[in-house]
Amino acid sequence: MSGLPHSPHALVTGGGRGIGRAIAAALVGAGATVTVLGRNAATLEEAIKAGAAHHAAVADVSDEAALRAAIAAAHARKPIDILIANAGGAESAPFGKSDSALFTRMMDVNFMGVVHAISAVLPGMKDRPYGRIVAIASTAALKGYAYVSAYTAAKHAVVGLVRSLALELASSNVTVNAVCPGFTDTDLVAGSIDNIMRKTGRTREQAIAELARHNPQGRLITPQEVANAVLWLCSTDASAITGQAIAVAGGEI
């Protein structure tokens, strides 16, 4: 793989932990200057101290004004070539108990956060000789799961956005793709495991097995496996790959 062009600037939302931090670290390892963005300054600083990023920007992706200001400051430091729209969150509830506020929360963080971030970086990115936008979606963007209808709807919206925007930008140097992990070994999934244990009385091992059964390989995906897919999409070898939703899920999709 030919890798990244010389020292691009990558912005990773939700980059302080889990999949986002693994992606940030992989980009650093490939020679990128990396800014991690998130809500918790201490978590972001820990990522920097660990060598997983160079700079931090504090903002909530569902707050458009705050996100734009944080991205503008990062861009002023060095123009942004790569956007990894990773920030997200999941809440579970039966549809009958999923009120409009739940749907709004899930759309705001999982979809509108992607929209706001892309809107902030795209004008400058289109003027540069290389640009990569990768949204971290989910296998929920490609199929349905029970009890997460709001989350699933938001992730489906992300993939629709990626496909449309890729066509608009096909004549530019910017590619737009989504990576769709299956259940991944992160603190977000740890919360789902705790929820299963609390609601069903199952042991931790049984709860993990409940999630892992969706993967034909019978395991959770690792954050590094997701990061590897993202790194390839950001490489110059992937210049013809755009508008795709790539599942990293052990054959689930």
Let me know if 151 is a catalytic residue: yes
CB 52 within 8 A of CB 223: no
pLDDT for 193 equals: 67
List, run by run, the mean pLDDT of 10-residue segments along the chain (253 residues).
86 97 98 98 98 98 98 98 97 95 98 98 94 98 96 98 98 97 79 72 77 88 97 97 98 94
Which domains does the chain possess? 9-182+223-247 (3.40.50.720), 184-220 (no CATH)
Cross-strand pairs, 85:
135
User: Would you state the structure tokens that stand for residue 239, as one six-digit string?
Assistant: 């210049």
pLDDT at 208: 75
* Catalytic option among 130, 145, 147, 151: 151
pTM reported for the whole predicted model: 0.93
The whole-number pLDDT of residue 227 equals 98
Q: Residue 189's pLDDT is what?
A: 66
Give residue 190's pLDDT: 62
